[in-house]
């Protein structure tokens, strides 16, 4: 018992005791959908661009399919896969860059 009280006394002399009240966390403003979308688009503009390209190619492919132009429709569906791959790569690259920034 005597050794534990002496250890406690040494610990009290060497450093300040921890605060009794918890440190308050910073308060951030509420971010709406539009604000978050704009912020994320500025952080990684290639993802929305890839999504728009994918949507445009898909729409054009479906129109071609409806008109009976099967060759162009097949070409557009293949192009859609490439656009989706680009979008996924942009998303993955943005995640890697964000993770590396947070480590610094």
Q: Is residue 76 packed enough to be buried (19+ CB in 10 Å), middle (13-18) or exposed (0-12)?
A: buried
Is residue 43 situated within a structural domain?
Answer: yes
Q: pLDDT tens, 6-23?
A: 656 665 666 666 667 777
Considering Cα of 62, then 65, then 66, then 69, what sign does the dihedral take? positive
Domain that holds residue 40: 36-102
Please provide the DSSP assignment of 67-78 as one string: HT-HHHHHHHHH
Q: pLDDT tens, 83-101?
A: 999 999 999 999 998 888 8
Is residue 89 situated within a structural domain?
Answer: yes
Number of domains in the chain: 1
Is residue 4 situated within a structural domain?
Answer: no
| Tokens, residue 99 | 């993770």
pTM over 0.75: no
3-state secondary structure of 23: coil
């Amino acid at each position: 018992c005597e050794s534990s009280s002496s250890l406690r006394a040494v610990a009290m002399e060497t450093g300040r005791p921890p605060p009794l009240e918890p440190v308050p966390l910073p308060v951030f403003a509420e971010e709406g959908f539009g604000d978050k979308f704009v912020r994320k688009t500025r952080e990684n503009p290639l993802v929305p661009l890839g999504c728009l390209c994918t949507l445009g190619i898909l729409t054009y492919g479906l129109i071609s399919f409806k008109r009976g132009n099967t060759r162009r429709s097949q070409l557009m569906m293949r192009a859609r896969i490439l656009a989706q791959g680009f979008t996924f790569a942009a998303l993955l690259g943005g995640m890697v860059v964000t993770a590396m920034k947070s480590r610094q």
